[in-house]
């Protein structure tokens, strides 16, 4: 396994190693005393003098995946001499400016993107504080670890060592091809972004003690594609033992049916997509296809690959994301969860009330027939069932139907299916539904939209209100409650804590969840009718794939 060091052999390689105690520095913004990680000495920045929060930004956790290392498993980070100033975020993975429509300014991008960031307020390397590792979303084609709403200061104040990571995206992280598979000792390709995440988690095991973190108390959490990544990691044999709790916010791969070599209800195989893209990029007559592909400049590769989300099934863009390959992911997620083959760790999972509203901004349909044709392409023999759940009789009804369809089939349904499958293991699971509607900001009017819970989880009040001064008392109270639930779960595997409403563990029979909104209260039967029907449809789909 190239670049993936065994956790059992090196789990505590530098546990407790630090050049000096992590002493507070008098002035905010100056460099904190250096600490030693496996690659060398690093310095960070004092974020808050009173609490002692320090940030270490842009730490390489693997070698730059460029040149001959494009489409190779991540390799160990290159060591350095002297003290490396980790005071600025590293570049985001090369990507298009897709998130600009949501008000996010794209930072510097590069294929050399395998960096992570750490926030800590630990007084010494021996503190053994719980660790939380955040995996960003963005449909596996966009996003980065240093978005403003991912600031880790509030988590560090809560006694957590917070880590945010980058990973390869789009055609850099999820491009598969038969010739790439042939290069691999495992005869696989395409899941490089997932290998990056695993490499980052192994880096945490080997290095987090130097920041005062406990490698035996690690929680992975993420939103959207980050949540899908978490649910993927909960199934991968390669990630076993690297974390001890999991949180998914608006995402799951349980109904992900992409396969490395076999066509599926989602379409062609990853290798078939790769062959099609390679022919478009370098032609079929190239003598060294992979060499020619690796020589293509990143901007050109990105432009020609044209990565997209595949919302309608009619786009010319190419979808990228994790796939069943028999090694990193042994089988279809739904089958693995059904067999209880997920890692037996506590799970906290949930969705937002208006998950689909943002995505309808990209809905291309002008007529009802276009909408229906798209559903037929996506759902084939199950299209009439889907159209029955989400009917549109006039063009004015399409956006509402699409919003509800996306919310249920992408988020609520898969999350419920995943959390119900936790009854096949011994660990408890907790379900939430976020309903708080933002009162200010450029996305006012989209309801409790996709990703709107993040600012509350991180308690970055400026992100949900425009500025900290504009945050309402309701927003502050909800954010305090959510970060408290999340950090308590990271510490103990149970989110319940004195001073907040009781959060019942999930049981299929009662189907209870915790509503996180203007008030915090228990509810039940979330989108039950639609989710029951989607469960039935997906069961049929997997019967088609695997036989009786």
**What does the DSSP assignment read for 101-125?**
GGTPPP--EES---EEEEEE--SST
H or E element that contains 429: strand 429-434
Query: In the chain, what is the straight-line distance between the N-terminal and C-terminal CA atoms, in Å?
Result: 35
State the CATH class of domain 350-548. alpha beta
DSSP 243-297: -SEEEEES---TT---BSSS-BTTBS-HHHHHHHHHHHHH-TT-SSHHHHHHTS-
CATH code, 1-345: 3.40.50.1820
How many residues make up the chain in this entry?
Answer: 548
Domain boundaries along the sequence of the chain: 1-345, 350-548
**For position 16, what pLDDT does the model report?**
28
One of 224, 229, 252, 461 is an active-site residue; which one?
Answer: 224
Phi, psi of 165 (to 5 degrees): -125, 150
d(CA 216, CA 209): 10
Beta bridge partners of 523: 513
Amino acid 480: pLDDT: 96
β 213-223/129-135 pair status: parallel
DSSP state of 493: S
Query: Would residue 524 show up in a list of annotated catalytic residues for this protein?
Result: no
Given the residues 115, 450, 513, 527, the one annotated as active site: 450
Taking the CA atoms of residue 165, residue 169, residue 173 and residue 177 in that order, the dihedral angle to the nearest 10 degrees is 170
Instruction: State how far the alpha carbon of 224 is from the alpha carbons of 280, 304, 463, in Å.
Output: 30, 25, 18
- In the DSSP assignment, the letter for residue 209 is G
List C-alpha distances in Å: 285 to 68, 301, 468. 21, 18, 58
pTM of the model: 0.92
The answer to whether residues 321 and 140 touch, using CB atoms and an 8 Å cutoff, is yes
CA dist list (Å): 421 to 334, 342, 347, 427: 9, 9, 11, 11
Could you give the CA distance from residue 402 to residue 395 in angstroms, rounded to a whole number? 11
- The catalytically annotated residue of 249, 355, 453, 515 is 355
Residue 361 is predicted with a pLDDT of 82
Clarify whether 465 is annotated catalytic.
no
Between the alpha carbon of residue 532 and those of residues 77, 417, 535, 539, the distances in Å are: 47, 10, 5, 11
Would you give per-residue pLDDT tens digits along the chain (548 residues)?
333 333 333 333 323 222 222 222 334 566 778 999 999 999 999 999 999 999 999 999 999 999 999 999 999 999 999 999 999 999 999 999 877 656 788 999 999 999 999 999 998 888 999 999 999 999 999 999 999 999 999 999 999 999 999 999 999 999 999 999 999 999 999 999 999 999 999 999 999 999 999 999 999 999 999 999 999 999 999 999 999 999 999 999 998 879 999 987 667 899 999 999 999 999 866 689 999 999 999 999 999 999 987 665 545 678 899 999 999 999 999 999 999 999 999 999 999 999 999 998 877 788 999 999 999 988 889 999 999 999 999 999 999 999 999 999 999 999 999 999 999 999 999 999 999 998 777 778 899 999 999 999 999 876 655 566 678 899 999 999 999 999 999 999 999 999 999 999 999 999 999 999 999 999 999 999 999 999 999 988 776 655 43
What local confidence, expressed as pLDDT, does residue 197 receive?
98
- How confident is the model at residue 468, as a pLDDT? 63
Mention every residue, 6+ apart, whose C-beta is less than 8 A from residue 377.
313, 314
Q: Is residue 224 flagged as an active site residue?
A: yes
Contact present, 84 and 127 (Cβ < 8 Å): no
- pLDDT for 546 equals 55
């Amino acid at each position: 396994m190239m670049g993936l060091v065994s956790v059992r052999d090196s789990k505590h390689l530098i546990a407790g190693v630090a050049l000096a105690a992590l002493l507070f520095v008098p002035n905010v913004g100056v460099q904190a005393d250096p600490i030693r990680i496996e690659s060398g000495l690093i310095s960070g920045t004092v974020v808050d003098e009173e609490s002692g929060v320090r940030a270490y930004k842009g730490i390489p956790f693997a070698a730059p995946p460029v040149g001959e290392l494009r489409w190779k498993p991540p390799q160990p980070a290159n060591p350095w001499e002297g003290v490396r100033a980790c005071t600025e975020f590293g570049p985001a993975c090369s990507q298009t400016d897709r998130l600009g429509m949501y008000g996010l300014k794209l930072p510097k991008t590069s294929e050399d993107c395998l960096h992570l960031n750490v926030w800590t307020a630990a007084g010494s390397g021996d503190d053994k504080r719980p660790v939380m590792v955040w995996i960003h979303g963005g449909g596996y084609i966009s996003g980065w670890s240093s978005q403003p709403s991912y600031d880790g200061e509030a988590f560090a104040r809560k006694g957590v060592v917070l880590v945010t990571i980058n990973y390869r995206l789009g055609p850099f992280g999820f491009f598969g091809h038969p010739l790439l598979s042939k290069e691999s000792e495992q005869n696989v390709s395409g899941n490089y972004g997932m290998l990056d995440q695993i490499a980052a988690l192994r880096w945490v095991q080997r290095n987090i003690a130097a920041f005062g973190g406990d490698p035996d108390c690690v929680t992975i959490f993420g939103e959207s594609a980050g949540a899908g990544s978490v649910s993927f990691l909960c199934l991968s044999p390669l990630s076993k033992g690297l974390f001890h709790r999991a949180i998914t916010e608006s995402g799951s791969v349980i109904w992900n049916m992409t396969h490395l070599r076999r066509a599926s209800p989602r379409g062609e195989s990853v290798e078939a997509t790769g062959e099609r893209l390679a022919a478009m990029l370098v032609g079929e007559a190239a003598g060294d296809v992979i060499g020619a592909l690796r020589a293509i400049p990143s901007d050109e590769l990105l432009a020609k690959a044209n990565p997209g989300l595949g919302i309608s099934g009619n786009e010319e863009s190419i979808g990228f994301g994790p796939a069943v390959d028999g090694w990193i992911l042994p089988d279809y997620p739904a089958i693995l969860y059904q067999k209880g083959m997920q890692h037996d760790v506590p799970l906290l999972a949930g969705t937002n009330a208006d998950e689909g509203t943002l995505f309808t901004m990209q809905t291309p349909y002008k007529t009802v027939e276009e909408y229906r044709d798209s559903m037929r392409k996506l759902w084939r023999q199950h299209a009439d069932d889907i159209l029955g759940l989400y009917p549109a009789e006039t063009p004015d009804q399409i956006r509402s139907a699409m919003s509800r369809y996306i919310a249920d089939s992408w988020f609520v349904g898969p999350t419920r299916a995943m959390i119900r499958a936790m009854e096949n293991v011994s660990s408890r699971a907790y379900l939430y539904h976020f309903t708080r509607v933002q009162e200010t900001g450029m996305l006012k009017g989209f309801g409790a939209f996709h990703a709107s819970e993040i600012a509350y989880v991180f308690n970055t009040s400026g992100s949900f209100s425009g500025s900290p001064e504009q945050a309402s008392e309701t927003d502050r109270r909800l954010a305090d409650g959510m970060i408290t639930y999340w950090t308590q779960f990271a510490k103990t595997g149970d989110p319940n804590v004195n001073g907040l409403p009781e959060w019942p563990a999930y049981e299929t029979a009662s189907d209870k969840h915790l509503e996180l909104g203007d008030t915090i209260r228990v509810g039940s039967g979330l989108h039950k009718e639609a989710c029951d029907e989607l469960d039935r449809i997906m069961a049929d789909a997997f019967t088609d794939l695997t036989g009786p």
